Amino acid sequence: MDAASTIVCFEDVSLRFGDTPALDHVSFQMGAGETRVVFGAAGSGKTVLLKVAVGLVKPDSGRVFLLGQEITCMRETELFDLRARVGILFQEGGLFDSLNVAENVSYPLENQRTLRSGNRSNEARVRESLEFVELAHTLDKFPSELSGGMRRRVGIARAVVTEPALELYDSPTAGLDPITAHTIITLILKERDLRNTATIMVTHRYQDGQLMANFRYNPNSGEIERAPRGSAETVDTKFLIMQEGRLVFEGSETEFLANQDPYVRKFARPGAS
Amino acid sequence: MLDFLKPPIQTFQEFVVLSGRAVGNIVRRPHYSADVFHQMDVIGVGSLPICSMVGLFSGIVMALQMARALTTYGAESRVGEIVSITLVRELGPVLTAVLVAGRNASGMASELGSMKVTEQIDAMRALGTDPTQKLVTPRLIAAALMLPLLTIIADFIGMMGGYFIASTQLGITSSEYWTAAWQILEYNDLAQGLLKPLSFAVIIALVGCLYGMRTTGGTQGVGRATTDAVVWSSLWIFFVDALITQFFVNL
C-alpha cells in the first residue's frame, strides 16, 4: 500500500527519551476501516506509538503518515486540522476537570478550526454523542463526580463527537471491572462498525483484542455478536506486539496465536497482561 | 565533563522558547479573553488581601525602625520620605512579587502540572488548542496587568501604615507626612517602581507555567514542579531586582 493512501503509516520510526529507546525502527501501516490491537509490557512504547501517530510527540528519525499526509515535519498549527479527523481516548481519560461533561464533549467542536459550527448544532451533536455512550443524563456533571468507567465513556463520547476517520484508544479497559470493560469494548465496536472507523487500540487484555478481531456490533440488538470466521463482516484486524520500543510481531489473530516466541505468547492467552 | 551544565541550559532554553511563544501569542488569534479575566481575578483579586496586609506592616515597620534613628538627629519629620522611597523603589515591588510568586507561581505550576500528568495538556493539543495560547498567555497577560496594580496598592497601604506610626508615635501632622512622602518621589522612582513589578510578573507567570508544563512523574512530580516554581521565580525576582536597581542607580 502506498503511504499516501494509508490511514496511519510508520516508516522506520525511532525515538529515544534520554538513553531509553521509546520506539526502535518501528514500521507498520493500516488502511481505512482496519483495526490494529497493540499489546506490550508497561514501558514498551505503546502509548508513545499513539502519540507519535498524531504528532503529539515528534520522532527522532523515520517518517510518519497520518491520513495520507506526512506529519513528521508538520507544524503544530497544520497538525490541528489533521487531528480534527482523529479521535483519541487517553489512558487517563484526559478529561478537563474544570469543564463539565457537556463542555468536555463539545470542546473539539468549538476548538477545531475545521469543525466550528453554530452552537445549536454543537449542542445536538454533544447530546447525540453522549446518548451513544448512554450518558446523556450526565451533561452538567463534572469529571470528578463520575466513576472511572463513566469517565472513560465520556472520553469515548468526546473522541467520537467529531465522527473521525481514525480512533485511537489508549488502554480503554485498564483498571475497570470486567462488566464495565465489556461495556467499553462494546462502545468501541459500535463506533467502529457503525461508522467504519479505522481503529488502533492499545490494551493489556487479550480478551479486548479477541473481541475486536472476531465480534461485530449488531445495531438491531444493541449487542456485540461473533462474526462468522472469514466472512465479509469481520474487520481486517492485526495484532502488534511491542517490546522495549521494538515492534516484535505484526500479524493476524491466527498468526498471533500460533507464534512460539515466549514474549509474544505472554499476550496470547486469556487474562494475559 | 560539562554534562552537569546540560539540565540548567536545557531549562533556560525551554524558558526562552516558552517566553517567545507566550509573548507572540498575545497578538495571535484566537484570544482567550475569558481566561485572562479569570486569571486576573485569581492573581489580582485573590492576592489583594495578603498584599495589602504585607504592605501595611512593611510601612509600619519601616516607620518604627526609622523613627528611632531619625529622632537621634531630630529629623523625625522625614519619616514620610523614607517610608515612601523604600516602599516605592524596593519593598513594595519585591515583597508583592515574592508573595504573588508564592501564591500564584506555585498555583500555576501545580495546576498545569496536574493537567500534564493527567494528559489534559496532550488532550488539549489533540483537540485543536495550543496549550501555550490557552494556558500560558492568559496567565502572562493577567500577571503583567495585576502585579503593577497590586504593587501600587501595597505601596499606598504601606504609606498609610507609616502615617499611622508617624502620627500616633512621632506626632507628625498629616500634611507634614504626606507632603514629605509625595515630594521626595521622582519620576525615576516611579519608573522603577512600575518596571520592577512588570518584569517580576513576567518571571512569575513564565517560570510558574514552565515548571507546570514540563512536569513528569505523577503527583510527586507536581509537588517538585510547585517547589521549583516558587524557588526559581523568587530567585529570579531578586536577581532582576538587582539588575534594574543597578540600572536606575546609574541613571
The predicted-structure confidence for A160-177, as pLDDT tens digits, reads as follows 888 889 999 998 888 888
8 Å CB contact of A54 and B126 = yes
Q: Measured between alpha carbons, how far is residue A47 from residues A23, B22, B207, B238 in Å?
A: 10, 28, 29, 42
Using a CB–CB cutoff of 8 Å, tell me whether A90 touches chain B: yes
Domain that holds residue B83: 35-249
Q: Which residues of chain B have pLDDT under 50?
A: none
Per the domain annotation, does B13 fall within a domain? no
ipTM of the predicted structure?
0.84
**B114, B117, B119: best to mutate for the A interface, most A CBs within 10 A:** B119
Considering A115-119, A179-183, B24-28, B237-241, the range whose residues carry the highest mean pLDDT is: B237-241
Query: Measuring CA to CA, which residue among A198, A188, A202, A117 is closest to residue A157?
Result: A188
A-chain residues near B126 (CB < 8 A): 54, 56, 83, 86, 88, 90, 94
3-state SS, residue A47: helix
Mean pLDDT of chain A: 86
Q: What is the number of domains present in chain B?
A: 1
Residues 6+ apart with CB under 8 A from B107: B42, B208
Question: Does the beta carbon of A51 lie under 8 angstroms from any beta carbon of chain B?
Answer: yes
Of B63, B93, B112, B76, nearest in space to B228 by CA: B112
pLDDT band at A207 (very low <50, low <70, confident <90, very high): confident
Mean pLDDT of chain B: 91
**Secondary structure of residue A251 in the 3-state scheme:** strand
Coil/strand/helix, residue B26: coil
Question: CB pairs below 8 Å between A and B: how many?
Answer: 52
Residue in A closest to B129 by C-alpha:
A111
Banded pLDDT at A226 (limits 50, 70, 90)? confident
Question: Is the Cβ of A95 closer than 8 Å to some Cβ of chain B?
Answer: yes
Q: What tens digit of pLDDT does each residue of B91-114 get?
A: 999 999 999 999 999 999 999 999
The reply to whether A56 touches chain B by the CB within 8 Å rule is yes
> Is the minimum CB–CB distance between B34 and chain A shorter than 8 Å?
no
Q: What is the reported pLDDT for A236?
A: 83
Model confidence at A117, pLDDT cuts 50, 70, 90, reads low
Rounded CA-CA distance A148/A199 in Å is: 22
The percentage of chain A sitting over the pLDDT mark of 70, rounded to a whole number, equals 92
Residues 6+ apart with CB under 8 A from B242: none
Decide if B28 touches A, using CB distance below 8 A. no
> Is the predicted pLDDT of residue A120 greater than 80, yes or no?
no
- What is d(CA A162, CA A108) in angstroms, rounded to the nearest whole number? 7
**Could you tell me if residue B29 is inside a domain?**
no
**What is the average per-residue pLDDT within A108-128?**
75
pLDDT at A58 (0 to 100):
92
B24 domain-assigned: no
Mean pLDDT lowest among A220-234, A256-270, B128-142: A220-234
Residue B51 lies in a domain: yes
> Is B240 within a domain?
yes
Supply the pLDDT for residue B160: 93
Residue B177 domain flag: yes
Other CB atoms within 10 Å distance of the CB of residue B35? 17
- B117 occurs within a structural domain: yes
B19 within some domain? no
Q: Which of A83, A86, A92 is opposite residue B119, by nearest beta carbon?
A: A92
Q: Is residue B120 less than 8 Å (CB to CB) from chain A? A: yes
